[in-house]
Amino acid sequence: MSNTGVRWTATAQNPKKQLKLDFFIHAVNLAIFFDAFMKLPYLSGKNKARLLEMKGRTDILIWASRNMPDPQVDDILNYPIHLGWPEVFAQSYKHPSDDGHLAKFVRAVAYAEKLCRPYEKEAEKRGLRVTGDMWLKIGNLAVDTVGTIFSDLWVRGAGFSEPWEKFGPRK
């Protein structure tokens, strides 16, 4: 769930426009809580399964509502790493216009890396599409691509053409 959400968010790009993250970030941010939910002793296995099912259904509905475009995986694979996690976190916290979404997304990506890393040897078998240094590349992309004014921070509905109109072309 975390791996897929991070991938969907990071690869939902318009190949002709500057890189931006879709507001699908909320699906990623929510996933961080499921590790704790699954450890709650007072939730039955049936209730835990129901929570996971509802989260999966909600993710798919959010994904569909954004009209998510074809994944632009090369945008992640080719993204430069110029900051380590401490610097990515620092930049996400001090952004002048963000209201906390950036920091929450960066935190969720770093946590997803921690959750998924032990399973990367079986990534293909397990369907893990974000592996290795892709996590840090996505963290760098997140802090590099948010705008400086509130209306330019994110693209909302990455699969539609209208939300991209206000953003410039790729360099």
Q: Who contacts 54 (Cβ-Cβ below 8 Å, separation ≥6)? A: none
Domain count, the chain: 1
Asked whether residue 143 is assigned to any structural domain, the reply reads yes
82-118 burial, b for 16+ CB within 10 Å, e for fewer? ebeeeebbebbeebeebeebbbbbbbbbbbbbeebee
pLDDT > 70 fraction of the chain, expressed in percent and rounded: 100
The C-alpha atoms of residue 89 and residue 116 are separated, in whole angstroms, by 19
* Contact yes or no for 142/79 (Cβ under 8 A): no
Q: Who contacts 126 (Cβ-Cβ below 8 Å, separation ≥6)? A: 119
Q: Which residue has the higher pLDDT, 41 or 27?
A: 41
Asked whether residue 80 is assigned to any structural domain, the reply reads yes
Asked whether residue 170 is assigned to any structural domain, the reply reads no
Instruction: Read off the pLDDT of residues 109-166 as tens digits, 9 standing for 90 and up.
Output: 999 999 999 999 999 999 999 999 999 999 999 999 997 777 789 999 999 999 999 9
Confidence bin at 97 (pLDDT 50/70/90): confident
Q: Is 166 helix (H, G, I), strand (E, B) or coil?
A: coil
Asked whether residue 159 is assigned to any structural domain, the reply reads no
**Enclosing domain of residue 131:** 1-150
Asked whether residue 167 is assigned to any structural domain, the reply reads no
Asked whether residue 163 is assigned to any structural domain, the reply reads no
Instruction: Supply the DSSP string of 34-90, one letter for each residue.
Output: HHHHHT-TTS-HHHHHHHHHHHHHHHHHHHHHTTPPPP-HHHHHTPPP-S-HHHHHH
- At residue 48, does pLDDT exceed 90? yes
CA distances for 140 relative to 20, 41, 119, angstroms: 12, 37, 23
Asked whether residue 68 is assigned to any structural domain, the reply reads yes
Asked whether residue 164 is assigned to any structural domain, the reply reads no
In this prediction, residues 96-115 reach a mean pLDDT of: 94
Per-residue tokens: 86: 């401490």
